Structure 1
Amino acid sequence: MIEKNSSLKAFNSFSIDAEAHLLFHFTDLSQHAELLALIKKTKEESRPILVLGGGSNTLFCDDFDGLVIKVELMGIKHTETSEYHLLEVAAGEDWHQLVEQTVEQGINGLENLALIPGVVGAAPVQNIGAYGVELKDFCVQVDYIDLIDGSAHSLTNEQCKFAYRDSIFKGELKDRVLITSVSLKLPKQWQAHCQYGLLQGLNETEESVSALQIFDSVCRIRTEKLPDPKVLGNAGSFFKNPIVSEYLSEQLLSHHSDMPHYPQQDGNVKLAAGWLIDQCGLKGHKIGGAAVHLQQALVLINEDGRATADDVIQLAWFVREQVLQKFAVLLEHEVRFIDAQGETDLLQVIDNV
């Protein structure tokens, strides 16, 4: 189905209104030919193309002057071997519902990634992760359509070039692919991951921890700390946890001994962006209708439902500058900024506010 001058407010979790010149609902692979014809026409008109999943990690900074492809492909195929569960999941499936279903069925491994908003097709792009687990730990294949020529391709885990909140889909294949499915390989010999953050308490109180216990704990922790986008518009964690040099980490620890820090294999150190923002006293800080969430400083919210994109942009810039001044740490936004012509970033849009 094709819609003209269609509102995107219902398709982004910030609930900020913007219009798409054209909106195409991609619900079935049988629409492949129709999709390619639409893409060809859009390119002939020199208009941009945006592939949109759940909109849970997206800030529309302006009306989009091209074609938005809303990916709504559904379906889950489950096979197994003596050692593994194999899942081929269509890109439009809700990520949290997938995690919930697998845990209920005794297919363990994804429980640490509960309540991450968005759809399955977006998971490889960001290499989503939480509580010591990342998508790359289980992803074995990503299928996609090349938006340049319409051809179908598959990438292995290694070819996806997964890194912290990063992948080939944010690099050399950026703006070129429409992910159609993601294949996961989950070992039947399951091992609990409770070494990170508040999950550490499970190891201290339970002799043996189940996947369901981890799932329930993650849901409880995230519900307590993160606002429901259906109630307060938000895109989850707005900034990435910064990775800094060991030297800078030691300098900061000499002044802030309680600073959360996580040494990395390459010698660098990951810091907690939420803690840095909180130490700047920014919880509750408002600009227009946008605010830093009172319970979780890493989240920027559309507080009263009337925030504009400019409000969010100005608030994000203010937070970034305050952290830079206090800690000499530069925060990068995890949220995708989309203007009239496609993906942009905070540095480019702040000049237009």
Structure 2
Amino acid sequence: MIQTTDKVNLRTYNTFGIEAKADEFITCNSIDDIKSTLKYLKNNPQPYLILGGGSNILFCKDFEGIIIHPQITDITLLKQDDSNVWLEVGAGVVWDDLVEHCVNNNWYGLENLSYIPGNVGASPVQNIGAYGVEAKDCIESVNGFYIDSTEAFELSNNECRFAYRQSIFKSELKNKTIISSVVFKLNKQESYKLNYGDVKEQVESFGKVTLRSVRQTITNIRKSKLPEPEEMGNAGSFFKNPVIGIELFQEIKGQYPTIPSYPISEQLVKVPAGWLIEQSGWKGKAIGDAAVHSKQALVLINKGNATGNDILKLAHQIIKDVNNQFNITIEPEVNII
């Protein structure tokens, strides 16, 4: 039997540390809990929100409805062969705990995604990525339930329609599913992806390149750029890195020869949103307690008493200034509620 809690303060459930309340709150610790919650929702129709680790969300008001908090934390070895292992991982597993588990077992594939905040259930929704690797590279399938029909589903990697920070769960199936677990296919054979920025150089400074040294390097890089949410509220990267046409890129490069870039195709180039924001003069600047981090312009922070609307106001001003200077419209990566 599920337990619902009324008028829950969501401050500890979002890494921005924003004060907001939910009318009702249900934690799902098992598949049976999810089924019971869907039945409850069917009998008590109301707005709902699936909330994982709260590391990619900005509350701008109280949530007038029910928060569903999946907390299935099993990690199961489904099968293995000479080359690969297949793990089924509960949606409530902390993402970085999964990466640590894989590194400890000498399973390759997720190490570049070390120290990303949030839970496993959000990884296919956002197709999280960092340092040349995306979650889709290792996801075999995603399991869950359709909210309206309460039927279970298993979607293959192809069916998830992964793209840059995108998936079917952010398009056709947005707000229509609860993810219960994700199946990952990992490599037993030594394999690294280090050709992103100066990652290779920093890893090699440890001496021998190992899973552990790669994980430590990525963790060190992220810690040097990102404040701890417990110390300074944030949701990591607030904006997506924009992908622009080659003509616009060449035009900007003519004025800013050192602009960093990552070719996507012959016609498209990805440029760092953090660089655009810094060039627009926002790095380290603040509007009240809503601020741009002084070490990484891609990160917006709550200096203590900012509201969600304060953060949003700052984001809108940054978007406006970047567009005026570069003719590029950057988009939030964070879900705004």
TM-score (norm: length of structure 1): 0.92
Residue equivalent to 1:313: 312
Specify whether residues 270 and 208 from structure 1 end up closer, same or farther in structure 2 by C-alpha distance, changes over 3 A only. same
- In the TM superposition, what is the alpha-carbon distance from 1:101 to its structure 2 partner? 1.6
Residues in 2 aligned to 1:266 and 1:257: alpha-carbon distance in whole angstroms? 19
Alignment partner of 1:294 is 2:290: no
Report the CA distance shift for 1:115/1:205 in structure 2 as closer, same or farther (over 3 A). Answer: closer
Q: Is the 8 A contact 2:106 2:188 kept in 1?
A: no
Query: Distance in 2 between the 1:299 and 1:233 partners?
Result: 10
Instruction: Say if 1:53 and 1:71, in contact at 8 Å, map to a contact too.
Output: yes
Give the distance between the partners of 1:42 and 1:133, measured in 2 at CA.
Answer: 41
Residue of structure 2 in register with 1:323 after alignment: 322
**Alpha carbons 1:245, 1:269 under 8 Å: kept:** yes
**Alpha-carbon distance in structure 2 between the residues aligned to 1:128 and 1:4:** 32
Q: Distance in 1 between matches of 2:266 and 2:99?
A: 31
Aligned counterparts of 1:203 and 1:227: Cα–Cα separation in 2: 22
Q: How many residues were matched structurally?
A: 334
Q: Does 1:15 align with 2:17?
A: yes
Residue of structure 2 equivalent to 1:277:
277
1:109·1:190 contact (CA, 8 Å) conserved in 2?
A: no
Whether 2:77 is the aligned partner of 1:69: answer no
Look up the match of 1:233: 233
1:251 and 1:70, CA in 2 relative to 1: closer, same or farther beyond 3 A? Answer: same
Aligned ranges for residues 42-57 of structure 1 at < 5 Å? 42-43=44-45, 47-57=46-56
Instruction: Determine if contact 2:142/2:156 at 8 Å carries over to the other structure.
Output: yes
Structure 2 equivalent of residue 351 of structure 1: none
1:4 is aligned to: 6
Which residue does 1:130 correspond to in 2? 130
Map Cα deviations across residues 123-164 of structure 1 (whole Å, 9 max, x no partner). 000000000000111100100111001110000000000000
Q: Which consecutive unaligned segments of at least 5 residues does structure 2 have?
A: none
Change (3 A) 1:206 1:289: closer
Q: Determine if contact 2:203/2:213 at 8 Å carries over to the other structure.
A: no
Q: Residue 205 of structure 1: CA displacement?
A: 5.3
Partner of 1:336: 335
1:108 and 2:108 aligned: yes
Distance change >3 Å, CA 161–CA 258, structure 1 → 2: same
Matched residue, 2:147: 147
Alignment of 1:206-225 (within 5 A): 209-225=209-225
Distance 1:114 1:306 in 2: 29
- Once residues 220 and 32 of structure 1 are traced to their aligned partners in structure 2, the CA distance between those partners, rounded to angstroms, is 37
Query: Is the contact between residue 242 and residue 330 of structure 2 (CA under 8 Å) also seen in structure 1?
Result: yes
Instruction: Point out where structure 1 has 5 or more consecutive residues left out of the alignment.
Output: 339-353
Q: For the residues of structure 2 that align with 1:207 and 1:51, how far apart are their CA atoms?
A: 43
Deviates more, 1:29-38 or 1:126-135: 29-38
Q: Residue 230 of structure 1: CA displacement?
A: 1.2
Distance between the aligned counterparts of 2:112 and 2:204, measured in 1? 17
CA contact (8 A) 1:194 1:202 kept: no
Q: Offset at 1:42?
A: 3.3
CA distance in 1, matches of 2:268, 2:289: 37
Q: Structure 2: how far apart are the matches of 1:290 and 1:198?
A: 31
Match of 1:350 in 2: none
Checking the alignment, whether the CA contact within 8 Å between 1:131 and 1:196 is kept in structure 2 is: yes
Deviates more, 1:294-303 or 1:184-193: 184-193
The amino acid that maps onto 1:239 is: F
Aligned-CA RMSD value? 1.4
Find 1:25's aligned residue among 16, 22, 27.
27
CA contact under 8 A between 2:58 and 2:334: conserved in structure 1? yes
Q: Structure 2 CA distance, aligned partners of 1:38 and 1:5? A: 17
Cα displacement (A) at 1:190: 2.9
**Distance apart, 1:309 and its partner CA:** 1.1
Instruction: Letter of the 1:6 partner, please give it.
Output: V
Matched residue type, 1:135: A
Give the letter aligned to residue 137 of structure 1.
D
Paired residue secondary structure (2:68): strand
8 A contact 1:91–1:120 mirrored in 2? yes
* In structure 2, distance between residues paired with 1:22 and 1:203: 46
Please list the CA deviations of residues 175-224 of structure 1 after superposition, one character each: whole Å capped at 9, or x if unmatched. Answer: 10000000000122232111112303147758862221111100000001
Q: Contact 1:235/1:335 (CA < 8 Å) preserved in 2? A: yes
Distance change (3 Å), C-alpha of 1:146 and 1:266: farther
> Which residue of 2 is the match for residue 35 of structure 1?
37
Q: 1:120 to 1:34 in 2, by over 3 A?
A: same
Corresponding residue number in structure 1 for 2:83: 83
In the alignment, the residues of structure 2 paired with residue 190 and residue 292 of structure 1 have an alpha-carbon distance, to the nearest angstrom, of 39
**C-alpha distance in structure 2 between counterparts of 1:133 and 1:314, whole Å:** 32
Deviations 1:325-351 (A, max 9, x none): 11111000000001xxxxxxxxxxxxx
Shift in CA distance, 53/253, structure 1 to aligned 2, threshold 3 Å = same
Answer whether contact 2:108 2:189 (CA < 8 A) is retained: no
